[in-house]
Amino acid sequence: MSTFEARLRAGIENAVRVYWRTRSKQDAKQGKATGSRDAGNRAAVTAGKQLDGFIQLVRSLVIECGVRDADVHTVNARLPGFYRPAKDWDLLVLVDKTLLATIEVKSQAGPSFGNNFNNRIEEALGNATDFWAAYQQGAFKPSARPFLGYLMLLEEDQGSTAPVKERRQSQFPIFPEFVNTSYADRYRLFCRKVLRDRLYDAACLLLSNKTSGKKGMYSEPDPELSFQNFALGLMARATAYVKQGRS
């Protein structure tokens, strides 16, 4: 393992620990204050901040490429849309009015994998469609085509890794690759497809168990969707721009 790979792994492990420990604290705090939890584990979700470890890791990688800290935005990271007025993203790299990169970081934990999976897919597709429509209409001038990245952290347990049977019959047959697949499989298929269709320039899928995740443990179910691939694509874009500005 190279030094870069080791640093990436340590950064991911830290981000995974932050995620699960923050969820646990928020869940306990909300339950203590109200005497009950929100339905569907919303107690740990509504407060946010669980994914800050990943956002800060991505930020550090971009800065390592020579981008100024002030040009990496995680607060007030809002961009105009085409089908809606605007959207807040998790991280923007904006250098001299040039939009280099836009990053979305999401997670899903149980127990409601089914409904939440559909919501996440619809959200990710809608965000990308709106983003590229706005770009095509010149919303980000004078930027060249920006880098758009998507990262998903999925809880690894029986509900997300066991094959799912469709409860309702579709009017037409579903595509065969979705038959008897788990939600983890379906996220993998989704990420691969949006890369093929260039809706996203990089997509990363990580799995982590609630218990071992507090120790930083995680897995990458598809080499193509590894965090290293995600990071290298983003860093290449940032490095190329920085070198161009210095030439």
Question: For residue 38, is pLDDT > 70?
Answer: no
Looking at residue 57, its pLDDT comes to 98
- Give Dmax over CA atoms of the chain in angstroms: 61
Question: For residue 247, is pLDDT > 70?
Answer: no
Summarised one tens digit per residue, pLDDT across range 47-73 is 458 999 999 999 999 999 999 999 999
Looking at residue 27, its pLDDT comes to 72
Looking at residue 40, its pLDDT comes to 46
- Sort strands 202-208 and 147-155 into parallel, antiparallel or unpaired: parallel
CA–CA dist 240, 147 (Å, integer): 12
Looking at residue 239, its pLDDT comes to 96
CA–CA dist 16, 210 (Å, integer): 10
pLDDT confidence tier of residue 32, bands split at 50, 70 and 90 = low
Looking at residue 33, its pLDDT comes to 54
Taking residue 186's Cβ as centre, other Cβ atoms within 10 Å add up to 18
Looking at residue 6, its pLDDT comes to 95
Q: Which run of H or of E encompasses 14?
A: helix 3-34
CA–CA dist 242, 234 (Å, integer): 13
Share of the chain above pLDDT 70, in %: 91
C-beta of residue 40 within 8 angstroms of C-beta of residue 234: no
Summarised one tens digit per residue, pLDDT across range 81-92 is 999 999 999 999
CA–CA dist 146, 201 (Å, integer): 9
Mean pLDDT of the chain: 91
Looking at residue 155, its pLDDT comes to 97
Q: Which of 89, 221, 215 is nearest to 146 (CA)?
A: 89
Distance of CA 136 to the CA centre of its chain: 23
CA–CA dist 203, 152 (Å, integer): 8
pLDDT confidence tier of residue 244, bands split at 50, 70 and 90 = confident
Looking at residue 168, its pLDDT comes to 77
Q: What is the pTM of this model?
A: 0.90
Summarised one tens digit per residue, pLDDT across range 97-124 is 999 999 999 999 988 888 899 999 999 9
Share of the chain above pLDDT 90, in %: 79
Token pair, residue 19, equals: 């995620």
Q: Which of 96, 51, 44, 107 is nearest to 74 (CA)?
A: 51
Summarised one tens digit per residue, pLDDT across range 164-212 is 987 778 889 899 999 999 999 999 999 999 999 999 999 999 999 999 9
Taking CA 219 as the corner, what is the angle to CA 214 and CA 221, rounded to the nearest 5 degrees? 150
pLDDT confidence tier of residue 44, bands split at 50, 70 and 90 = very low
Token pair, residue 230, equals: 């995600």
Looking at residue 31, its pLDDT comes to 60
Q: Choose between 33 and 105: higher pLDDT.
A: 105
CA–CA dist 195, 202 (Å, integer): 7
Q: Where are the domains of the chain?
A: 51-246
Taking residue 209's Cβ as centre, other Cβ atoms within 10 Å add up to 18
